[in-house]
Amino acid sequence: MTPASLLEYLETWYRQGKLRLLDISFARWCSRHDPAPTPELLLVTALVAYLEGRGHSCLDLDSLLLNTLTLGTELEAELAQVLAELPRTLPVWQNTLYGSPCIRPPSSPVPSPLVLAENRLYLRRYWQYETALSQQIRQRTDPALWSLDALTNALPWLHALFPAHSEIHWQRVACALALRSPFTLITGGPGTGKTYTVARLLTVLLSQSARPEALRIALAAPTGKAAARLTESLQKALRELPSNLPAALDISTLIEQVGPARTLHSLLGQDWTTRQFRHDAAHPLDLDLLIVDEASMVDLKMMVALFDALPPR
């Protein structure tokens, strides 16, 4: 297959509505900036742009070569036909793509619009976002927030908040792990008890704080609707806490201290004229605990901005 014939495929897919104008335009741009463009280059540049539009940060070459990418039934069938005329081994594709000035490995000092990290092809800015986010998460998961002794002191609260269970009580485990780490991801489908667990985590944190009234807590979500749901569901979970706790707890005061959830844009103080955030690494958020709901809806750029704005401790 020649670059010209591959481009004809892309043009056809665009006319059929299977690719966006942006996808095919990016492939054309890379073709013009490569003195010897290959069919592989044209295909992956169109696909990486297409996948970005569907919320993906990169193109997995293994999935491409195995024809397991989720692209939509019609496009997947067309892609299989094209791949049948191209090499099907990853090393060959890597060597071919690295031969283009449009693609560089992460370690290259030469800037390029695309980064190929082993088997994953990124638009450069998304590789930068993903790298920055992974570094932030590693930094925040390394240190232990509580010692084992402190966690032992919290055990009466954990047992009171999570009733006895015949099997492993994974919600209690999640809460205990969250007490040990500055960063925790609690995941599960609808009705699995994520808000239930977070309400109890808040309770344990306040019960073990020397000055619980001074603990600065913020709730956030990607959208206004999600923020309203988080406020309502968390307040409901707090009001339904068991009564047999090791010490008295003023639920009304706790709800007032937590306050309503805000959108991430509001939390970070976005200036809608400049699109910049008031809070960043130089001007971090003034808080001790941040709870973000619907984290899977947050795009990479926003998540990086959020982590940049968190206090270093």
* Same domain, residue pair 19 and 88: yes
| Domain membership flag for residue 219 | yes
| Domain membership flag for residue 129 | no
Q: What is the largest CA-CA distance in the chain?
A: 75
What's 194's domain CATH number? 3.40.50.300
- Kindly report, residue by residue over 14-31, the tens digit of the pLDDT: 999 999 999 999 999 999
* Same domain, residue pair 45 and 74: yes
Residue 280 has what pLDDT? 94
Residue 31 has what pLDDT? 96
What's 103's domain CATH number? 1.10.10.1020
* Same domain, residue pair 97 and 164: no
* Same domain, residue pair 151 and 299: yes
Mean pLDDT of the chain: 91
Residue 73 has what pLDDT? 66
- Kindly report, residue by residue over 95-148, the tens digit of the pLDDT: 999 999 999 999 999 999 999 999 999 999 999 999 999 999 998 887 677 777
Nearest to 64, CA basis, from 119, 116, 123: 119
Please classify residue 289 by burial: count the beta carbons closer than 10 Å to its beta carbon, then call 0-12 exposed, 13-18 middle and 19+ buried: middle
* Same domain, residue pair 93 and 226: no
| Domain membership flag for residue 134 | no
Residue 132 has what pLDDT? 96
| Domain membership flag for residue 244 | yes
Q: In this predicted structure, which of 50-59, 152-161, 178-187, 244-253 has the lowest mean pLDDT? A: 244-253
Res. 214: pLDDT tops 70 = yes
* Same domain, residue pair 148 and 109: no
Pick the more confident residue, 313 or 196: 196
| Domain membership flag for residue 313 | no
Res. 74: pLDDT tops 80 = no
Q: For 305-310, what is the mean pLDDT?
A: 96
* Same domain, residue pair 150 and 299: yes
Q: For 2-20, what is the mean pLDDT?
A: 94
* Same domain, residue pair 148 and 282: yes
Integer-rounded Cα Rg, in Å, for the chain is: 25
Asked if residue 159 lies in contact with residue 244, where contact means CB atoms within 8 angstroms, the answer is no
Residue 47 has what pLDDT? 97
Q: For 30-54, what is the mean pLDDT?
A: 96
Res. 6: pLDDT tops 90 = yes
* Same domain, residue pair 98 and 199: no
* Same domain, residue pair 204 and 110: no
- Kindly report, residue by residue over 255-279, the tens digit of the pLDDT: 888 899 999 999 999 988 888 999 9
| Overall size of the chain counted in residues | 313
* Same domain, residue pair 113 and 149: no
* Same domain, residue pair 106 and 182: no
| Domain membership flag for residue 52 | yes
- Kindly report, residue by residue over 194-203, the tens digit of the pLDDT: 999 999 999 9
Res. 57: pLDDT tops 90 = yes
Residue 140 has what pLDDT? 87
Instruction: Examine the fold and report which residue of 124, 159, 187 is the final residue of a domain before the chain moves on.
Output: 124
Q: What is the dihedral of CA 217, 221, 224, 230, to 10 degrees?
A: -70
Could you tell me the two tokens for 46?
Answer: 């169109």
Q: What range defines the domain where residue 89 resides? A: 3-124
Res. 238: pLDDT tops 90 = yes
Domain count, the chain: 2
Q: For 217-234, what is the mean pLDDT?
A: 96
Under 8 Å CB-to-CB from 171, ≥6 apart: which residues? 162, 193, 196, 197, 200
Instruction: Examine the fold and report which residue of 124, 153, 176 is the final residue of a domain before the chain moves on.
Output: 124
pTM reported for the whole predicted model:
0.87
